[in-house]
Amino acid sequence: MSDDLPITISVSGGPSIETTLGGLKAAAAAPGKGLLPAARADASDLAATIERARKLFDEQDYQAALLLSSGAYDQAKAAASYGKRMKASEQLIGKARQMQGDALLIESRAKMALADQYDDAQKAGVLATQGRPKNIPDENVFTLKDAGLSSKEIHEARKLRDAEAKQPGLVERAIEARLAQGFEPSRANLRAAVGTASASKEDRGDNFYQTPVEATRTLLAYESFSGTVWESSCGLGAISRVLEAAGYEVIISDLVDRGTVTRHGELQTVGDFLATAPDEEGEGPDIVSNPPYGEVLNDYVAHALRVHKPRKMALLLNLNFLCGFADEARNFVMDENPPARVYVFKRRLPMMHREGYEGPKASSRMNTAWFVWERQEDGSYGDTTVIKRVDWKDFEEAQALQPGAGGNIGNINFDEFRRDTPRKTLDERVEDISAKALIWCAGKDDFDAVELRRAVGVRPSTAEGAIHWMLEKKLINPAGEGRFKTASGGWTALKATAAVINDRKLFELIEQVQGVAA
C-alpha cells in the first residue's frame, strides 16, 4: 500500500485532519520521553499538535493546551483504530497508542491545572456562579468558560488532581501500565484507575467488592466443578470460603495482597491475572471468580479463555455483559466462545459494598448473573447459550453438587443420559446444512467461517467442514484474508435447488444478485 494514500481522520467535536499513510507512519516513529512528551521531529500534523500542546502547557496556557491535547488524543485514537482495521503492524499501532498516551497525559495535567485555577478563583471570591446576581466586575470575573471545562469536568479534574496529590505520578503510571500491556490508554481507563464517579480510589479499593454468600451457594447448587478450583480474584475469600465448605480444594490469587489464606493456611498468590499463563494449555483447574469490573473486565475474561482455556469457568458479572459489540474482547468471549449457561438473578443480590465501606447500606442497583463457560469435546466452547432465571432466596441453605462431577442440573442428567441414536459424523452434519449454508452464502458479498456458523447455527467444526465441502465442489471461491464468495458453480447449484423446491424467494434472490432470470 502506497505511503501517499490520503487519509482523513475525523475528530469528535472538531475538524477533520487530512494526512497520508506515510505521515501516520512517520508520526508513529517519533520517540517520546519524560513526564510530558518531549520534542519530536515534526513529521506529521499529529506529532506537531502534541508538541504544540506540550509547549503551551509549559507556558501555562492551560486552556489552549487542553484544546490541542484533546484533539491530538482523538486523532491518535482514530489512527490506532484505523491501523487495526487495515491490519497494520503491531509496532505501528503501538506507536499510535503511545501518542494517544502522550496526549492524554498533557490533557490530564491541563485539566488539573485548570481545576486549581477554578478553585483559586472560588477562594478569591471572583468566581461567577450561575443563578447569582452579578456582583463581580467584568475584568475580574472567572467563569467555567475561562476554565474550558463543564461543571462535571471540573469535578472529575479535581478528583484527578487529588488522586495525583496522594500518589504522585499516578496518572503517568496508569497510562504507562496500559501501554506496557499492549492496551489502549483511554480516558475511561484513566478514570477507572483514579476512581469512579461514586467513590474515590481510596474509598473504592481495586474494584474490590465482596461477593455475597448467597451468590456462590446458588452457583454450586446448579454447577459442579473439578475437585480443585482457582479463585483468580480472591479478595478476602468470600467465594473461596464457600467453595471450601462445599468440599473443594481452592487455589487463591489476587492483584492485591490482602493476606487471604486457604483453610490449610496457604497464603494467596499476588499478581496480575492478565500476566498469568498455564504450564500447559487447557490443563489447569476450573475457574470460579467475581472478577474486577471496569475497563479491565473484557480483557480479563478474554485472557482466561484465550490463554488458560479452562475446562469450566464461572464468573459473576453484570447482566449487561450479554450486550455490547464495539470491544473485540467482548465479542471474542460472547460470540466466538459463548458461555454455555447464564444464571440470571431475578432478585437482585444483597448489595456488594466495597471493602471497608461503613456508610448507609443501600439495596443493590445492579442486575447480575453467573456466566458459565464449558469446553466441549472438540476443544471449542460451543455455540449455544442457555439462560435460566434463578432466585438466590431459594438457595440460602441449599446443598451443593458434589465436587468433581463436572455436570450441572439442567434438563439433561449428564450421568444417566444415554444416546439412543449414534452421533452424526462431520460429513453427515455438513450434508444436513449444505443447502441452507449455500442459500445463505448467496445473499452475501463475502463471508467467513464465523459468520457462516452464527447464521446457520452450527458448531465451528461443522461450519469449517461446510466451507471445505463447498470449496471442493467449486461452489465458493476464496476472497482473501479467510473470506469467501459464491462461485459460478454455486449459482448453478442454487438454480437447480430453486427449481426442485419451487422457491420463488430463492428465484428472486438469484435474479437480484446475478442480474439474470432463473
pLDDT for position 322? 94
pLDDT for position 171? 85
Q: What is the pTM of this model?
A: 0.45
Asked, for residue 27, whether it belongs to a domain, the answer is: no
What SS3 state is found at 436?
A: helix
Residue numbers of the chain with a pLDDT score lower than 50: 1, 9-17, 21, 24-25, 27-43, 130-136, 138-140, 196-208, 353-363, 410-421, 516-518
pLDDT for position 431? 79
Do 367 and 453 fall into the same domain?
Answer: no
Q: Which are the contacts of 381, defined by CB distance < 8 A and separation ≥ 6?
A: 305, 337, 338, 339, 340, 373, 374, 375
Cell of 256: 492485591
pLDDT for position 15? 44
Do 189 and 239 fall into the same domain?
Answer: no
What is the rounded radius of gyration, in angstroms, for the C-alpha atoms of the chain?
Answer: 28
Do 380 and 451 fall into the same domain?
Answer: no
Do 373 and 459 fall into the same domain?
Answer: no
Q: What is the CATH number of the domain that holds 494?
A: 1.10.10.10
Do 382 and 300 fall into the same domain?
Answer: yes
Q: What phi-psi label fits residue 205: left (phi over 0), alpha (psi between -120 and 50 degrees) or beta?
A: left
Q: Which of 197, 231, 246 is the last residue of a domain?
A: 197
Number of domains in the chain: 3
Do 235 and 296 fall into the same domain?
Answer: yes
pLDDT for position 362? 44
**Strand-pair category, 312-318 with 6-10:** unpaired
Do 166 and 266 fall into the same domain?
Answer: no
Q: Cell 494467596, residue?
A: 268
Residue range(s) defining the domain that contains residue 236: 213-355+363-394
Do 344 and 297 fall into the same domain?
Answer: yes
